[in-house]
Amino acid sequence: MNETASLRTRYRALANDINGLLLTSAGFSVLLLMARIVYTGSFMFGFLVWNLFLATVPYFISFWLVQGRAWKKSRWIFIPALAGWILFIPNSFYVLTDLFHLHDGNAAPLWYDLLLIVSFAWNALVLGVLSVRHMEKMTRLRWPALPGWLFLYPVMALSALGVYIGRYLRFNSWDVVSDPFSLVMDIGHIVLHPVAYRQAWGMTVCFSFFLAILYTTIKKLSRAGL
C-alpha cells in the first residue's frame, strides 16, 4: 500500500510539472499573439487562441480519466468519455494546418508569424500526444488483449480525417450534434467515391502516417530516457 501510494504521489508530481510546462508554453504563445496585436493593431491570428482551447479539450478528458478510478469499474463512464475524446482529439492536430494562414498578412515580419503559428501548433501537438498516451494506457488496462497498434492507427486515421473535414469541409466537433446529417453525408461521399475525393484520401493517409510516426517516436524517446 505504501509503495502504491508513493507511485501515485510521484505520478501526480510529474503530472503537475508537465501541466506547468504546458501552461508556460501556452502563455508564451499568447504573449507572442498579444505583442503582434499591439504591433499591427490587427486581431488576424486571434483564432489561434480558440483553436488551442479546443486542443485542450481532449487532454482535459483524458487527464480527468487518468486521475479518476471510477472508469475502471464501469464501462458506462469510460465508453462515453472515449467517444467524446475521439470527437475532439482531431482538434489537437488541426492547429498544424493553421500554417496555411502564414501568408495571409504582411503587417508583421514573416519570421514572427511563422514562430507565432508554430508555437501554437507545438502546444496543440504536445497536448494531443499526451492525450493519446493517456488513452492508450487506459484502453490497455481496460482491454489487456487489445494490441497497441489496433488503438493507435485507427485513432490517428480518424484524427487525420477530422483534420481534413475541419480544414476543407469546415465542420467542427459539435456538428456531430448540431448538423449530423450533413456531416454523415459528406463523409459518406468521401468513403464511397475515393477517386473523386482523392485529395481527401491523400491527406488522410499522409497525415495519419505522420501522426503515428510522430507519436511513436516521442513514446520511444520517452521510454529510452532521452
Q: What is the pLDDT of residues 140-190, one digit of tens each?
A: 888 888 888 899 999 999 999 999 999 999 998 888 888 999 999 999 999
Q: State which H helix or E strand residue 29 sits in.
A: helix 2-40
Buried b (16+ CB within 10 A) or exposed e, 191-209: eeeeeebeebbebbeebbe
- Mean per-residue pLDDT, 70-95: 85
Higher-confidence position of 5 and 143 = 143
- Mean per-residue pLDDT, 78-106: 92
- d(C-alpha 189, C-alpha 45), whole Å: 32
- Mean per-residue pLDDT, 83-92: 95
- d(C-alpha 209, C-alpha 206), whole Å: 5
- Mean per-residue pLDDT, 3-27: 75
Q: Which of 201, 209, 155, 164 has its CA nearest to residue 183?
A: 164
| Residues 62/85, Cβ–Cβ less than 8 Å | yes
Q: State which H helix or E strand residue 66 sits in.
A: helix 47-67
Taking CA atoms, 8 is separated from 1, 5, 201, in Å, by: 11, 5, 43
Mean pLDDT, the chain, rounded, equals 89
| In the predicted structure, residue 1 carries a pLDDT above the cut 60 | no
pLDDT value for 86: 95
- d(C-alpha 196, C-alpha 190), whole Å: 8
196: DSSP letter: T
Percent of the chain with pLDDT over 70: 90
- d(C-alpha 164, C-alpha 162), whole Å: 5
At 57, the pLDDT band (50, 70, 90 cuts) reads: very high
Query: Helix (H) and strand (E) counts for the chain?
Result: 10, 0
- d(C-alpha 129, C-alpha 134), whole Å: 9
102: DSSP letter: T
Judged by DSSP in three states, 107 sits in: coil
Please, which residues have CB within 8 angstroms of residue 130's CB and are 6 or more apart in sequence?
Answer: 18, 59, 62
Render pLDDT for 139-152 as a digit per residue (tens, 0 to 9): 888 888 888 889 99
pLDDT value for 14: 73
pTM of the model: 0.89
- Mean per-residue pLDDT, 29-57: 96
Percent of the chain with pLDDT over 90: 67
Higher-confidence position of 214 and 224 = 214
- Mean per-residue pLDDT, 188-196: 94
| Residues 164/207, Cβ–Cβ less than 8 Å | yes
Q: Which amino acid is at 156?
A: M
pLDDT value for 205: 96
At 7, the pLDDT band (50, 70, 90 cuts) reads: very low
Higher-confidence position of 11 and 201 = 201
- d(C-alpha 14, C-alpha 120), whole Å: 23
